[in-house]
A and B are shown apart, each in its own frame.
Chain A
Amino acid sequence: MWDLFHSAWEWFWTVEWKLAGDGSFLAMALGFNLAFGAWEAFRKNLDFFGKTTPTLIAKALGVTKEQAEKVDDHHRAIVLCKAAHKKLVWVCWLASVVFSGVSVWMIWANRFSPHNWVLLLPIVVYVCSSAGLLAIVALCCFAGKGFVDALDPKKQVNEMLEKTKPPVSKDDKQDDDKGGDKGGDKGGG
């Protein structure tokens, strides 16, 4: 029984360390990270390298791109709040790629032996860093969303809409019930 267990144990470590030892497993993880990042960049963050930033400000403020680059920080921060949120997520992704790379390098450099438990450290580092970064990304997403939501005056504007709502007369109500004019004053001049 013990021999069987010992053989299985040796086989497991041989295969496991071979995979880990040549870095293929973690290289896959790194590759996935890069592919994911490239896809996301293509899909929704084409402005990551600043392509849209001056354009966005210029459009927002009705100025030229040259003028947009000179907008003061306070206004820039407001205009670019949502863009900044996106970039924060990207910084976390970049950090995760770096961590993955470091893990691959550590495994590559150490050439594991199945009897050297200390060399489990790279795996532990990789797992912990990935989980930690995932948590950081999640936290940043929530914090970023909260930040954006805090700036969004939707609730206050809705309250004002309610306060300024004109009283509905009986005639108007009957019209509404019959499917009359529902456009109200929305979008008026």
Chain B
Amino acid sequence: MFCRNLNPAVFDVPEVVEAAADMLKQGRVLDIIVQDKLPPESKFLKRLRALESAENIRMEIDAEASERSLIVGASAINFTVMDDTAYRFEPDRETVKAVACMNNSDLSGQLLTIFNRMRHSLVS
């Protein structure tokens, strides 16, 4: 996932929280790059962190990433890649409208490439 601030309007929706929790329970990896600071009262994070301490799950969150990478700081999009074929892409985060497609391996791969480049550009 790449987003600006884990917007509660999107990520604190119970269905989203539980979907992410279920995903982690299934042993899948959750990688998140957040440009700004993490929201202190995020239900999404609380639920996943509670899970993190209780079970052996794999989750990585890079917060305040804008300060550590020019590429990340300059990006005004949000996106999520679910697997080899599924993605959610928000071209203009100000309008909070996204395109979701569950069967496009090309774009999923490209978004994953973008995510990996962003991660590699982060200065620790």
Query: A-side interface residues toward B, CB under 8 Å?
Result: 56, 59-62, 75, 78-79, 151-154, 156-158, 160-161, 163-166, 184-189
B100 and A75 form a contact (CB under 8 A) = yes
* Complex interface: chain A residues within 8 A of B109 (CB): 186-187
Alpha-carbon distance A163/B118, docked complex (angstroms): 10
Contact of A161 among B82, B86, B113 (CB under 8 A): B113
11 sampled A-B residue pairs with Cβ under 8 A: A62-B19, A151-B99, A156-B91, A157-B107, A157-B111, A160-B114, A164-B71, A165-B117, A166-B117, A185-B116, A187-B113
Q: Mark B78-90, 1 if CB is under 8 A from A, else 0.
A: 0000100010010
Quick check: is B74 within 8 A (CB to CB) of the other chain?
A: yes
Query: B-side interface residues toward A, CB under 8 Å?
Result: 19, 29, 71, 74-75, 77, 82, 86, 89, 91, 99-103, 106-107, 109-114, 116-118, 120-121
Alpha-carbon distance A116/B100, docked complex (angstroms): 60
CB distance from B20 to the nearest CB of A (A): 12
Query: Which chain A residue has the least Cβ–Cβ distance from B98?
Result: A78
Alpha-carbon distance A50/B111, docked complex (angstroms): 31
* Complex interface: chain A residues within 8 A of B89 (CB): 153, 156-157
Query: Which chain A residue has the least Cβ–Cβ distance from B100?
Result: A78
Alpha-carbon distance A46/B1, docked complex (angstroms): 35
Alpha-carbon distance A61/B82, docked complex (angstroms): 10
B117 and A158 form a contact (CB under 8 A) = no
Alpha-carbon distance A184/B91, docked complex (angstroms): 25
Query: Which chain A residue has the least Cβ–Cβ distance from B83?
Result: A62
Contact of A61 among B99, B102, B111, B113 (CB under 8 A): B102
